[in-house]
Amino acid sequence: MQPLVPGDPAWVGGYRLLGRLGEGGMGRVYLGRAKGGRAIAVKVVQREYAQLPEFRARFAREAEAARQVDSAWTAPVLEADTDAAVPWVATAYVPGPDLHTVVTELVGPLPEPTVTALGNGLAQALRDIHAAGLIHRDLKPSNILVTVDGPSVIDFGIARAFETLADEKLTRTGAVVGSPAFMSPEQVRGHRLTPASDVFSWGSVMAFAATGRSPFGTSDGGLHALLFRVAEEEPNLSGLPSPIRSLVASCLAKDPEDRPAVGELIAHTEPTADPWLPASLLAHLGREIARVLHTDVPSGELQNNEAPTGRSKTVTPADTPTATATLPAVPARRPLPPSPSVPEKSRQRFWDTSRRRKHLYVWVLAAALTAAVVPVVTFLDGLGRPSSPFAGSWELNQPVLGGTYRRLEISSDSTPGGSPVRVLFTNSRGNVLCKATAPVLESSSKRLALGKEKITETVPARAERECVAGRGESYTAERQGSVLRRESTSTKDDSDTALVKAAGGSRPIGAAFLGNWSGSDTSWDSSYQWATVAVHQGEVGSITVSFVLSGGGDGKACKGESPLLSAKDDSLRLGPADFSSSSALGCSPVGLTSSGSSDELTLLLSGNATITLHRTS
């Protein structure tokens, strides 16, 4: 812990600040004390970022999301003021260094019993996080604090609320957030995330704790090489103790469906060591706790824990009143409820509250007698870097359906070194939808520069050879950022050089299009005159339309699915179809249009043919 310096606030909310615990690009974390003497970690956002409305809104969402987690294995959010001139959030102070510091600076790779106990505590933390409807998305050693009575997971700054598949509101595809060496393959590819992504990260953390290295190496050879290893290559698990090697290997499966559930991780990591930490680390933690307990208000300042009456001296302006802190009790760490599939003996958890409390007192007292150093609490840097000024969805300004197609999905974290941009485009023949990611090289208020694209997926599947990845493009903003124009083109008036804001998110399709439809049109000469169509909600780029087209006397028919390319109030643009039965020229829906009636749509086929559809359900 570092002392306060001139310019640091003496009070934030109802908390008296005692010193600096950490600092990052987005703000500082202070050690504070509440009125009753309880130690608090107070995170204060830097003033320049507090002026960004999108950042402030994001901070508020994440603080509220973190408060939903009821777990003894996470640092609880006690209070937050996201409306203050400079937002802040207060969490329970966790007395311990982060796992990265423990392994790389204090004791090296951890012994097998400690790794097993660590895995059990982390799995229980994930169970509680997922039960609150969250995905942590950045489980890594520096976001895990090691304490005398178990690990504690921190940093929900990048956790995102997720809901069930039935509601089709899973975490948004393309929002790639996390730390490269501990990300899941689906994060690297910008795919939709589920709790299985955290399970993959759990496996990477376990390997690091036991061996001192990431199972996919470091970024010394280049970030892209590291991401490729995470997404495509097998992990290096050499040196991992055999009792947990198979469990970690199963967690690092590339396919999320092949990974174990969190409950299985808990059941297979029954702690056996008591105490769970090596003696040298326990002594270190005891000295840190003793140091914090003796940390007092800086000399020359107020010598009690009472906040000043009237206006408090906080980071907010002097005329801003401060709310009284409300400090809920920290929940006692409790064992996992018994499971019918777990033997009765294993239900007597190592983490039993009464036993752990007894050992906590004994070991803290013994270690504190040896005295020294305050813990280093890592700054919760998950809130990331400044938001991209181009966050949102952009597509080529095409006045009609068909023709050239290109779309950019830019997240708020799409800045240099942050999340890549998701790119969708059709190939030169228009029969394959190509999905790619592109790193951000520059993101200023007027210019966006992207690096070389990497193809991640195609529709139809396995058609990568039909897609030519871009080598990098630059865009300039026009009309207050409402238009992005490609710099590489020479004709500024051509519509295929301009990208305009477009509908995005998880529910871009209007209710007028959703449902089942059928219809026919025999007024034109074609093999396909009857159609049944089903439209369901989905993100741009995902399969949203399934169809069956049939003809007259020749008996021709085709069946397939189409991805959504663009959604507007009166039309949907559809991409190249993926056929499940043989097809012929002309059997390819390109769009759906609405005349305003809730019971009638027009299906547009290639070749300018149309079929009028009527709602069936």
112-131 helix and 196-211 helix, angle to the nearest 10 degrees:
160
Q: For residues 614 and 608, what is the distance between their CA atoms, to the nearest angstrom?
A: 20
β-bridge mates for residue 91, sequence order = 41, 77
> Looking at residue 103, what DSSP letter applies?
I
Q: Is 43 a known ligand-binding residue?
A: yes
Q: For residues 199 and 69, what is the distance between their CA atoms, to the nearest angstrom?
A: 18
Give Cα separations from 284 to 56, 74, 277, 351 (angstroms): 38, 21, 11, 21
Q: For residues 286 and 308, what is the distance between their CA atoms, to the nearest angstrom?
A: 33
Of 396, 432, 437, 439, the C-alpha closest to 416 is 439
208: left (phi over 0), alpha (psi -120 to 50) or beta: alpha
Q: Which H or E run includes 19?
A: strand 15-24
> Is 138 part of the annotated catalytic residue set?
yes
Q: For residues 387 and 374, what is the distance between their CA atoms, to the nearest angstrom?
A: 34
Q: Is 144 helix (H, G, I), strand (E, B) or coil?
A: strand
β-bridge mates for residue 519, sequence order = 531
**How buried is 599 (Cβ within 10 angstroms: 0-12 exposed, 13-18 middle, 19+ buried)?**
exposed
CB 484 within 8 A of CB 377: no
CB 4 within 8 A of CB 298: yes
Q: For residues 210 and 192, what is the distance between their CA atoms, to the nearest angstrom?
A: 30
CB 519 within 8 A of CB 611: yes
Q: For residues 172 and 78, what is the distance between their CA atoms, to the nearest angstrom?
A: 28
CB 116 within 8 A of CB 270: yes
Q: Which of 138, 198, 413, 578 is catalytic?
A: 138
Give Cα separations from 74 to 127, 129, 154, 255, 351 (angstroms): 11, 9, 6, 28, 15
What backbone torsions phi and psi does residue 440 show, to the nearest 5 degrees? Answer: -90, 125
DSSP calls for 304-345: SSPPPSSS--SSS-TT---PPP--PPPPPP-PPPP-TTS-GG
Of 449, 456, 25, 542, the C-alpha closest to 227 is 456
DSSP calls for 162-179: ---GGGT-PSPTT---S-
Q: DSSP alpha helices (H): ranges in 20-175? A: 47-50, 53-67, 99-101, 112-131
The Cβ of residue 134 has, within 10 Å, a number of other Cβ atoms equal to 23
* Strands (DSSP E) found in 482-577: 483-486, 498-502, 515-520, 530-535, 543-550, 557-567, 571-574
Task: Give the residue numbers marked as catalytic.
Answer: 138
Annotated binding site: 43
Annotated binding site for ATP: 43
